[in-house]
Amino acid sequence: MTATANGPAIRLDALRKRYGKTVALDGLTMTVERGEVFGFLG
Protein backbone atom coordinates (compact mmCIF):
# COMPACT_ATOMS: atom_id res chain seq x y z
CA MET A 1 0.00 0.00 0.00
CA THR A 2 1.33 3.43 -0.95
CA ALA A 3 0.20 6.52 0.97
CA THR A 4 -0.96 9.48 -1.10
CA ALA A 5 -1.80 13.05 -0.13
CA ASN A 6 -5.38 12.47 -1.34
CA GLY A 7 -5.95 9.12 0.37
CA PRO A 8 -7.45 8.40 3.78
CA ALA A 9 -5.54 9.22 6.97
CA ILE A 10 -6.33 5.76 8.42
CA ARG A 11 -7.66 2.63 6.74
CA LEU A 12 -8.29 -0.66 8.56
CA ASP A 13 -9.29 -3.84 6.78
CA ALA A 14 -10.54 -6.93 8.67
CA LEU A 15 -8.80 -6.01 11.94
CA ARG A 16 -8.94 -8.71 14.62
CA LYS A 17 -7.86 -8.58 18.25
CA ARG A 18 -8.03 -11.32 20.87
CA TYR A 19 -7.14 -11.42 24.55
CA GLY A 20 -6.63 -15.11 25.19
CA LYS A 21 -9.97 -16.75 24.39
CA THR A 22 -11.84 -13.41 24.42
CA VAL A 23 -12.44 -11.86 20.99
CA ALA A 24 -12.39 -8.05 21.25
CA LEU A 25 -12.61 -7.27 17.51
CA ASP A 26 -13.50 -9.57 14.65
CA GLY A 27 -13.29 -8.18 11.14
CA LEU A 28 -13.40 -4.41 11.78
CA THR A 29 -13.09 -2.46 8.53
CA MET A 30 -13.16 1.35 8.57
CA THR A 31 -11.72 4.45 6.93
CA VAL A 32 -10.99 7.82 8.54
CA GLU A 33 -10.58 10.54 5.95
CA ARG A 34 -8.12 13.40 6.27
CA GLY A 35 -9.59 16.27 8.31
CA GLU A 36 -12.08 14.03 10.16
CA VAL A 37 -12.05 13.67 13.92
CA PHE A 38 -12.96 10.16 15.01
CA GLY A 39 -13.37 8.59 18.44
CA PHE A 40 -13.62 4.87 19.11
CA LEU A 41 -14.82 3.63 22.50
CA GLY A 42 -15.07 0.08 23.60
- What is the secondary structure of the chain as a DSSP string? ----TTS-SEEEEEEEEEETTEEEEEEEEEEE-TT-------
pTM for the whole structure: 0.62
| pLDDT at 41 (0 to 100) | 86
Contact in structure between 25 and 16 (CB atoms under 8 Å): yes
- 29: phi then psi, degrees, rounded to nearest 5: -125, 130
User: Under a CB-based contact definition with an 8 Å cutoff, are residues 27 and 14 in contact?
Assistant: yes
**Model confidence pLDDT, tens digit, residues 1-42:** 666 678 999 999 999 999 999 999 999 999 999 999 989 887
